[in-house]
Chains A and B, each alone.
Chain A
């Protein structure tokens, strides 16, 4: 069962979410939809973001591959360097740095797409909040829907609708 509650004041969304979490609803079953970022209990997003890890890994891989490729090309076609080293960390360091950063940027973009669930088919249609409304959606087993609806109403929901069965 999916319950969707509309709040006409975004300040009411945080206490509503806190009440649901206190009542034992899983953070991953609760979602808030708003036209702008809303202050919510940190417990709702207790899962640590992997964006920085992905950025570091992606940077290391891209920088490493770029360096390996440069050294390969310098070995593959050894140009006359006038006594200077054929493979030079100094002279190739700039490109290593730039492509390491390019890897970090790509990693961050992938992290955003993944963590924000963008470009993915939606299981449930999202409510479209207008300028001043915020929606709180909670997925719960049928027997918990009545208490959840009651909690949301008590928290100040202007309307609570049931529907959008989990397929």
Chain B
């Protein structure tokens, strides 16, 4: 702004038109179904249906149709469980941190991130049920009075998981929903029929009064703090599913923070990919700007370094200790049967992001998105290595085995990736993917 304040005057004069433009643009994706959207839903839907068929096949024929065999009794399903729970940290954790630190650039990013959290948790939470085989017995983990006078064993880390995911899912849904309320009220005034009725119902009678804004902002800050604490605990609890077993390479004190770091890492990567897709397919170039990607790229670079540090700390300790059972697994990972996965993980999680994000000139929207994809692939491989390589090399060498996933596991895995795309596509037609009131609130903010 110059000394006369003329730029302020210009902004103030343009404000009404710009606000209307923002309202219209951000609510535009809710109206109509384009050809590209229908095609994307159809393709994702086919994958999801195929996955549903594969699961039905497993329910009918039993868990034997999956590739899990002794000693590898946890395979793709648990890998996917850990992976998706990790992805779920995209939203709530990142959004909560940025909200609590008052980062102005978060505004167009948060809702997309919070939606990832809810969808990834829904998908991740399904995997232990799929892994059960007899999925209909899942309710046994719910404590209810029964004729055998049995209760679930609350000392078991598996029960910890159920509770942690229940809390995180509830908190994440509310954390997504609360800032959505003003936008739902707004959308209700600009839609008709059933859609308007749905928005009015979901907006809970929001009027936009100063008391309501005051209460919402206050509760959102507190909710962000609570959600942050829950998010950290959830992935720690997931890591304890492994670390509480006296199994070589799993029984590690740093597994909790290692998993949390990995979760934030993959979460940021997922957010970058989703933002790039929104920018490309919904035409949000004006809202998801290069500096949003640049900031996320820097966060991703930071997490690359932190992940590298934790990985070195974990592997160096095992190597230096040379305990036979642990060393056998390390050997398998670094130079044995799992070496291709291990080195691919290092390249995808560390080498590529370090190079592309570390050199400023190379850090563009395209390269940041590429890094998002490589980190997602690398983190999936990391989960695969943790689960499968360890189980295939138990303490007794005579019990060593191998694992190869069946078509059922591969189909269900592919189906969940299509599933999150499908959920996102449906969400994009029901709710604004960028918080209209928050973005509008930051109209005059210097960093947008």
- Could you list which residues of chain A lie within 8 angstroms of chain B, going by C-beta atoms? 31-38, 40, 44-45, 49, 51-52, 55, 69-70, 73-74, 76-77, 79, 81, 88, 91-92, 94-95, 97-99, 101-102, 104-105, 108-109, 111-113, 115-120, 122, 126, 128-129, 131-132
In angstroms, Cα B432 to Cα A161, docked, is 34
B209 and A38: CB pair below 8 A?
Answer: no
Residues of A near B154 (CB, < 8 A) are 70, 73-74, 91-92, 95
B171 and A102: CB pair below 8 A?
Answer: yes
Binds A, one of B117-125, B156-164, B324-332, B411-419: B156-164
B213 and A126: CB pair below 8 A?
Answer: no
A77 and B209: CB pair below 8 A?
Answer: no
Check A126/B209 contact, CB under 8 A, given A102-B171, A112-B215: yes
Partner of A101, one of B159, B212, B229: B229
- Distance from B313 Cβ to chain A, minimum over Cβ atoms (Å): 24
Give the nearest-CB partner of B237 in chain A: A94
Judge whether B211 is part of the interface by a CB distance below 8 angstroms: yes
Residues of A near B207 (CB, < 8 A) are 33, 122, 126
Q: List 9 A-B contacts (CB under 8 A).
A: A33-B210, A45-B211, A74-B154, A94-B164, A105-B174, A113-B204, A118-B212, A131-B20, A132-B16
Judge whether B217 is part of the interface by a CB distance below 8 angstroms: yes
Check A55/B143 contact, CB under 8 A, given A38-B213, A94-B160, A118-B205: no
Give the nearest-CB partner of A112 in chain B: B219
B151 and A109: CB pair below 8 A?
Answer: no
A31-B210, A37-B437, A105-B227 known; 11 other A-B pairs, CB under 8 Å? A51-B218, A77-B150, A94-B164, A102-B167, A105-B174, A105-B226, A108-B174, A108-B223, A108-B226, A112-B215, A115-B211
In angstroms, Cα B207 to Cα A116, docked, is 10
Check A51/B219 contact, CB under 8 A, given A35-B437, A112-B178: yes
Q: Which of B171-214 contact A (CB under 8 A)?
A: 171, 174, 178, 181-182, 186, 189, 204-214
- Distance from A80 Cβ to chain B, minimum over Cβ atoms (Å): 11
B215 and A101: CB pair below 8 A?
Answer: no
B160 and A98: CB pair below 8 A?
Answer: yes
In angstroms, Cα B174 to Cα A111, docked, is 13
Residues of A near B215 (CB, < 8 A) are 49, 51, 111-112, 115-116
A105 and B218: CB pair below 8 A?
Answer: no
Judge whether B291 is part of the interface by a CB distance below 8 angstroms: no
B209 and A31: CB pair below 8 A?
Answer: yes
Q: Find the residue from B15, B143, B155 having the highest chain A CB count within 10 A.
A: B155
Partner of A55, one of B20, B150, B204, B226: B226
Residues of B near A49 (CB, < 8 A) are 214-215, 218
Judge whether B216 is part of the interface by a CB distance below 8 angstroms: yes
A52 and B149: CB pair below 8 A?
Answer: no
Check A117/B211 contact, CB under 8 A, given A98-B160, A101-B171, A131-B16: yes
A101 and B440: CB pair below 8 A?
Answer: no
- Distance from B173 Cβ to chain A, minimum over Cβ atoms (Å): 10
Give the nearest-CB partner of A81 in chain B: B155
- Distance from B424 Cβ to chain A, minimum over Cβ atoms (Å): 24
In angstroms, Cα B103 to Cα A74, docked, is 47
- Distance from B54 Cβ to chain A, minimum over Cβ atoms (Å): 32
B23 and A131: CB pair below 8 A?
Answer: yes
- Distance from A158 Cβ to chain B, minimum over Cβ atoms (Å): 13
